[in-house]
Structure 1
């Protein structure tokens, strides 16, 4: 199991606040979702609207254990929007959708408990 999945792992090395601010985490609404059978690990292709400042971006998310594409439409999700795009098979993933592992290491999406404007930044 990767150390990120281990709830008993200690906190990472201390960083300064500027390092935290360098990671741009925003909220967006899923506007399209479809299976991604070409992915090495089961995944869903997401199209996420981050509002007028960032626009619509795509993400490949390994979330098939708890989610079906049709249940994701309209859901708000958090994502890192300032990583370089990553080619995943025939698909270009532009943002990293965020989640936490459940007891089995399967991804549970991270989202606000109330609706917030698309493009809102985590602070």
Structure 2
């Protein structure tokens, strides 16, 4: 994303659309994936089994999704990254219910949207 922004700037073109910050890293047997920025959060939801090293921490401010840190939970990571990229949120109460996959928490196309924090 930085290369695209630099190229656009050098060519006098409009800056590309801002993207959701993301990161991933392998740490031994752990795959860490991060989507969004958690700074300024006022609440968290932990999904999964931290002791079993397969979990996600979702960060919220005023009830709106800001970010997620996912350890060996690629499905949660992809859903959060998609939601943030589309300006959507996943309600904390829904995210806390581990019996429901996060992808089911996203609004169906054409349904009213719950905006994410800006």
Question: Structures share a fold, TM > 0.5?
Answer: no
Q: Which has the higher helix share?
A: 2
**Which structure exhibits the higher relative contact order, with contacts defined as CA atoms closer than 8 Å and separated by 6 or more residues?**
1
Q: TM-score, normalised by structure 2?
A: 0.30
Tell me which structure has the larger Cα radius of gyration. 2
